[in-house]
A and B are shown apart, each in its own frame.
Chain A
Amino acid sequence: MILRFNSCFCALALLFVLISSEQTVAQVDTFEFDNDVQQQRFRTLSDELRCPMCQNTNLSGSTGGVAEDLRREIHRMILEGMSDREIEQFMFERYGDFIFYRPRLTAQTVLLWFGPIIFLLIGGLVARSVFRRAREVGETEVALNDDQKARLNKLVGNK
């Protein structure tokens, strides 16, 4: 009985984890496109652009008024034949870098993009020097010469 309760609990917990880890459900829009490519572009753009009003939701996951308007604008621009780059530029001119979940590479965002690599390099260099020193210590200072070996043997009582 207890066993059954436990496995039931586990299943529920697992279910909860699965549900809560799921991405925010996209808003259902009734936009119509000429073809699947356009629809896919719309989906990608509204997934990668951030809702200016709500801090940490993308356009596709937001019910915010601005997000709705911006999705409508993306739809319009795709139908008008604008490229993804042009649409991103349109958004940038109005809402700045904030709108991009994947920030553009500029002087201000260089550290954001390459900071982790720089820190990894620093860590690697430090680790290398630590390991090298450890090896040098192991090779040179730990090796005993004959006199030291004799003394050691005497100390531990070997003949």
Chain B
Amino acid sequence: MSNLKFYIPAVAFLAIAGLLWRGLYLDTRTLPSMLIDKPMPSFALATVDGEAVSNIDLPDQIFLLNVWGSYCLPCLVEHPTFMRLSEEGEIPVVGVNYKDRNELAQDWLETNGNPFSFSIEDLDGRFGIDLGVYGAPETYLVDSDGVIRYRHVSVLDETVWQEEFIPAITELRAESN
């Protein structure tokens, strides 16, 4: 009995050490989105091309919502992936041009190519706040009912597409069948 007592501090120490060890490797930079399983926030804004858009203009199928800006270098890194997705018609991509300047955004699209069905122009970042955006690039997966189902923060390259988005989309498609 007294032997057992002797081990209590050691066991407690190991348990706490294990917990803290795990904590060292937790990703605290990526915030979980609060909008998962919530409908897209309502908006009535203009596109980068100057046309009025609101929620009814969103695709009525599963689509990606990509938050980008001409100032954002990682956006350029993930750009080829979105170009491929839209060229191959794999999934529609809607852009949110986040806190940019219109002429810079237009230049960027002209220079690098435009993978977006349209880009919602969020000049002051107000729509970004409703989405819970904390910095471009971010990409949201939205289902055919306009409900946000997944968010990826930072670069969405082919690896992220294969490992995170394909499974999530497959699951969504299976769900709606």
Contact = CB atoms under 8 A, between A and B. Distances in A.
Interface of A: 52-53, 55, 65-66, 69-70, 73, 92-96, 98
B29 A69 contact: no
A53 B134 CA distance: 5
Nearest to A69: B125
Contacts of A66: 125, 128-129, 133-135
B31 A73 contact: no
Interface string B114-134: 000000000011101111111
Given A65-B99, A66-B133, 8 more contacts: A52-B31, A55-B28, A55-B29, A69-B124, A69-B128, A94-B131, A95-B31, A98-B31
Interface string B42-73: 00000000000000000000000000000000
Nearest to B136: A65
Decide if the interface of chain A is mainly helix, strand, loop or mixed. Answer: helix
**Most-contacted residue by chain A among B32, B34, B128 (CB, 10 A):** B34
Nearest to B33: A96
Interface residues of B, number: 18
**Most-contacted residue by chain B among A73, A92, A96 (CB, 10 A):** A96
Contact of A70 (B35, B129, B131, B135): B129
B135 A94 contact: no
A137 to B, nearest CB: 15
B6 to A, nearest CB: 14
Given A53-B134, A94-B132, A95-B132, A69 B126 contact: yes
**Most-contacted residue by chain A among B126, B128, B133 (CB, 10 A):** B133
**Most-contacted residue by chain A among B31, B124, B130 (CB, 10 A):** B31
A96 B34 contact: yes
- Closest A-B pairs by Cβ, 9 of them: A52-B134, A94-B132, A69-B125, A53-B134, A96-B34, A66-B134, A98-B31, A53-B135, A95-B132
A64 to B, nearest CB: 8
A93 B34 contact: yes
A70 B134 CA distance: 10
A96 B32 contact: yes
A79 B49 CA distance: 33
A93 B34 CA distance: 6
Interface in B81-107: 99
